Amino acid sequence: MRAWVFNRPAPIDEGPLRLVERETPVPGPGQVRVRVSTCGVCRTDLHLAEGDLAPRRAGVVPGHEVVGTVDARGEGARRFRPGERIGVAWLAKTCGACRFCTSGRENLCLSPRFTGWDDDGGFAEYTVVDENFAYRLPEAFPDLDAAPLLCAGIIGFRALRRANLPPGGKLGIYGFGASAHLAAQVAIYEGATVHVLTRSEAARQLALSLGAASAADATARPPEPLDAAILFAPVGHLVPAALEALDRGGTLAIAGVHLSDVPVLNYQADLFQERTLTSVTANTRHDGEEMLAAATRLRIQVKAIAYPFERADQALADLAHGRVNGAAVLEMPVRAAQP
């Protein structure tokens, strides 16, 4: 099968991603093999390509927003039938036994595995997944639109909950890419007033078209004090500005897996009056199920930008250089089934 791999981290314009031929994976006990139809391109893939996240092993296949059909089952795998459409997300495995797993916080597992970091992901014609960590996908979303829900959607949903936005509150969103454009819609449907702050004019127009009350440059002051804010942009110098924009008792949730250095904070200006700064780490499977249900119920609009599988490197480069207004998604060509 064909697969894209990272051999060594490098700036994206130096081509760290390579298209290679690999043996088609065989599902182990409790696993299913997925014939990939689409795979979202996430900023985390970019962080891995460029070395912002240390590689776990050489030659890993990236991609953790995978949509496809079950085409083989390992011993004991019975949850999904052959031919069923499923999704594969970032969280690939947890120990199930540590203090976090047993208290409903498996996103903080002490020995987790992640798709596209520890285990091969969906920038390939086939991948395998533990069936207990795969998702049934809502029929309302075609393959192209379903892929971004599996990370951008799930992480945005968890970030929104971590931000502790009160009913009818004022939410600031810093950065407006794949995850933010989905989380914003959930917040608006739930009655929030959303103010978007992002450097991209095209992203500001997208935000307004989806119902944001205002959209301005990332360094601007929102038009009113915020009850909560989410930082999606991996830019640490925006943290003080976002904190200063919060009203008393507000929360800033940082949604990314990587963030550039945060400047020194001024306690009186940035944190006093019970402002809270919190992070978002991975997700639980419950987050995933909740997000997929909400996306269906609220009729979330996914702005997916399709790239042919053969242009995965271009999709990552476009993401790095701010040329993707929405969510980039790889589409697999139609091929005969694996014998």
Cβ-Cβ contacts under 8 Å for 234 (sequence gap 6 or more): 43, 47, 175, 256, 258, 259, 260
CATH 3.40.50.720 in the chain, residues? 154-279
Phi and psi for 130 in degrees, rounded to 5?
Answer: -60, 125
CATH class, domain 2-141+302-331, is: alpha beta
Query: What pLDDT tens digit does each residue of the chain (339 aa) get?
Result: 999 999 889 999 999 999 999 999 999 999 999 999 999 999 999 999 999 999 998 899 999 999 999 999 999 999 999 999 999 999 999 999 999 999 999 999 999 999 999 999 999 999 999 999 999 999 999 999 999 999 999 999 999 999 999 999 999 999 999 999 999 999 999 999 999 999 999 999 999 999 999 999 999 999 999 999 999 999 999 999 999 999 999 999 999 899 999 999 999 989 999 999 999 999 999 999 999 999 999 999 999 999 999 999 999 999 999 999 999 999 998 764 544
What is the rounded distance in angstroms from the CA atom of residue 40 to the CA atom of residue 331?
A: 9
Cβ(164)–Cβ(141) below 8 Å: no
Q: Give start-end residues of each CATH 3.90.180.10 domain in the chain.
A: 2-141+302-331
**Strands 304-308, 327-331: pairing kind:** parallel
Measured torsion, CA atoms of residues 72, 70, 114, 173, in degrees rounded to the nearest 10:
170
Which of 102, 106, 120 has its CA nearest to residue 28? 120
Q: Return the CATH class of domain 154-279.
A: alpha beta
Q: What is the pTM of this model?
A: 0.94
